[in-house]
Amino acid sequence: MDIKKIKFKALFQDISSLQDIWQFSTVNTHDVDFIKFRQRSEWLQYTGLDDKDGHEIFEGDLLEWDKIILEVVFEAGSFRVLNEGDSDMLLWFCLPDCKVIGNKYEKKVKH
């Protein structure tokens, strides 16, 4: 994987308003607002893979594949997908036919 492709998606919770705000950051730039690190946050790594529509797939994303909803996780040194809590499949196996439909933190599924 090209080092330029390593990036993270971060969910920061604004403590004053208790609203979730998605912000993007990459590991090879210095444009992150480090003040937000003091707040509650979840960091999700880009898998280096894209769905069938060209959307980047991040850890925590929900995918639709063959009418099944899967959650992307990083487990045992690889990106895998969970189906009802069971991670018996590597993420790349469902490519290129999967589609990002949301993520586990926003709890909304888009079709």
How high is the pLDDT of residue 5? Answer: 67
DSSP 24: E
Please state the rounded mean pLDDT for residues 100-104. 90
Place of tokens 């487990």: 75
**For 21, what's the count of Cα atoms within 13 Å in the CB-facing half-sphere?**
12
pTM of the model: 0.74
CA 8/CA 3 separation, integer angstroms: 12
Which amino acid appears at position 52 of this protein? K
pLDDT in tens, 12-27: 666 666 665 655 555 4
Sorted by where each starts, the structural domains of the chain and their CATH numbers stand as 3-103 (2.30.30.290)
The vertex-104 CA angle with 49 and 72, nearest 5°, equals: 30
